[in-house]
Amino acid sequence: MLSKKLEKALNNQIQIEAESSQVYLSMASWAEVQGLEGIATFMYDQSDEERMHMLKLIKFVNERGGHAKVSTLNAPKFDFGTFQKMFQELLEHEIFVSNSINELVHITLQEKDYATHNFLQWYVAEQIEEEALARTILDKINLIGNDKGGLYLFDRDVQQITANSAAAPPSGA
């Protein structure tokens, strides 16, 4: 059975995952309108992943005798300026999510809830992967600078990342 404190913290994380999904959905829409097909595909995929993170939490909370809450969400930005800035925001957002997961893990230890502690390790690992991916993408962006041909290749490359992750077996979903 979840403690009230942990239930509240997990419900907060449910909202964060849902908002992450909305942020990436808005990024996907922005990229699509700019004609950046590969980037848009990548962001749609990220958005779906965040929804999956949210659902996994909802099911866990309910399974452990809590009641998962579906909350009103803050609207994401509509305009992201440049794709470089957008990917920088993606990294910053993932760092924010990692901090929030760390805080949750900390609470499980305070509450001596080792089942939830164990469950959250999947998120800890997922955050390491997502931050690393965002950093790899930013390195590529820095390499191409303002080169138009480079941007074309980058857009194709990013789409490839999505195709590869879709082909990979689900990571414990």
Question: Is 94 one of the binding residues for ligand OFO (CB under 6 A)?
Answer: yes
To ligand OFO, the closest distance from the beta carbon of 142 in angstroms equals 22
Question: Is 19 one of the binding residues for ligand OFO (CB under 6 A)?
Answer: no
- Alpha carbons within 13 A on the beta-carbon side of 118: 3
To ligand OFO, the closest distance from the beta carbon of 54 in angstroms equals 8
> Counting beta carbons within 10 angstroms of the beta carbon of residue 167, is it exposed (0 to 12), middle (13 to 18) or buried (19 or more)?
exposed
Which parts of 34-113 fold into alpha helices (H)? 37-63, 83-110
- Using CB under 6 A, count the residues that bind ligand OFO: 10
Residue nearest to ligand OFO (CB): 53
Select the residue interacting with ligand OFO from 130, 154, 159, 162 (CB under 6 A).
130
Q: Which residues contact 91 (CB under 8 A, 6 or more apart)?
A: 131, 134, 135, 138
Residues in the site for ligand OFO, rule: CB under 6 A?
A: 17, 20, 50, 53, 94, 97, 123, 126-127, 130
